Amino acid sequence: MQFAFGRQAPFTPHVLTIGNFDGVHLGHQRVIAQAKDAAEELGLPLTVLIFEPQPREYFARQSGEAGPARLQTLKAKVAALAELSIETVWCLKFADIRMMTAEAFVDALLIQKCVRHLVVGDDFRFGCDRLGDFAFLQAHARAAGFGLEQSQTHVHDGARISSSRIRDALESHDFDLARSLLGRPFSVTGKVAYGQQLGRTLGFPTANIRLIRRPPLTGVFGCAVILPSGDIKGAIANIGTRPTVSGDGVWLEVHLHDFDGQLYGQQLTVIPRFFIRPEMKFESVERLSTQIAEDNAQARQLLNAMGTTAT
């Protein structure tokens, strides 16, 4: 799979689908599957167009607000898309196309980029003039020389599958529902960095992953962790700002069970299995240490009962 970035990326004739694809959930997968069918029928490669930051994040920043939590980093999203056998992921800075009218969008990003067929979801909107929708595309597709399809809503238990619904499930710690909507367990993937090494002094050494984007859940969780070797370990993890030790930023701190090794610089995939408690500030490091021991014992007991697997 190729990764193309920016408006200057060159293209030969191809099939295109466009969206945020945050989480690459089952609804997204249906849109992509429909686009793949069209690409195979036409004998053309398939391109998925995404934006950074995502539009809602961009507008939230402009107004000084926090955007919606990310289900995936850009790297994790691209990796999930690659698993769907897409020829190209094309990423544009949203700021670069923010002021485009719907008509300019069609001309610059569809016609000039050799799009021969376009597949979009039923909620797709574009253009600073707010004119860009499926009806607008229908009115322009034939004259512009590209085919057009709309993918229908994918429903689970009577409700539409969406990234916001998955965020709600995660915020309420309903990991089973999130898995059903994603088509796989929710996970957080990142590279282990050097932290304050406080956990080691407390008897619970942790692998620390700095989270650049706001995660959809915080607190203490029992987890399964996939190591670079493919081995799976049970673990306890904290996602948050570490208020007791005045931490900076948002971190994922993972204490692996029955593991003794070096993980700095390596990538871990952490799969929350159950919620233990919210993150809280303790009056002392000693009190924090006592609570970690209690949380860890609970995590071990529940993980042993459930079985430590990635699913």
pLDDT in tens, 218-270: 999 999 999 999 999 999 999 998 776 666 789 999 999 999 888 999 999 99
Q: What CATH number is attached to the domain comprising 203?
A: 2.40.30.30
* 165 within domain boundaries: no
Judge whether 223 and 310 are in contact, CB under 8 Å: no
* 202 within domain boundaries: yes
Assess whether 154 and 211 both reside in one domain.
Answer: no
Could you give the CA distance from residue 307 to residue 94 in angstroms, rounded to a whole number? 43
**Prior bond of 228 cis (ω within 30°):** no
Question: Residue 66 pLDDT more than 60?
Answer: yes
What is the pLDDT at residue 212? 87
Question: Residue 201 pLDDT more than 80?
Answer: no
Q: What percent of the chain has pLDDT over 90?
A: 78
Question: Residue 119 pLDDT more than 90?
Answer: yes
* 296 within domain boundaries: yes
What is the pLDDT at residue 246? 62
Domain of residue 191, residue span: 187-306
In this prediction, residue 78 has a pLDDT band, given cuts at 50, 70 and 90, of very high
What is the pLDDT at residue 188? 95
90 vs 130 pLDDT, higher one: 90
In this prediction, residue 287 has a pLDDT band, given cuts at 50, 70 and 90, of confident
Could you give the CA distance from residue 269 to residue 304 in angstroms, rounded to a whole number? 20
Give the residue from 112, 144, 160 where a domain finishes: 160
Could you give the CA distance from residue 188 to residue 279 in angstroms, rounded to a whole number? 17
Alpha-carbon distances, residue 122 vs 28, 71, 125, 135, 150 (angstroms): 11, 21, 9, 11, 6
Which 3 state secondary structure label does DSSP give 30? helix
What is the pLDDT at residue 241? 86
- Domains in the chain, number: 2
Alpha-carbon distances, residue 191 vs 80, 171, 237, 254 (angstroms): 17, 24, 15, 12
* 214 within domain boundaries: yes
Question: Residue 289 pLDDT more than 90?
Answer: no
Poorest-confidence range of 9-23, 69-83, 203-217, 289-303?
203-217
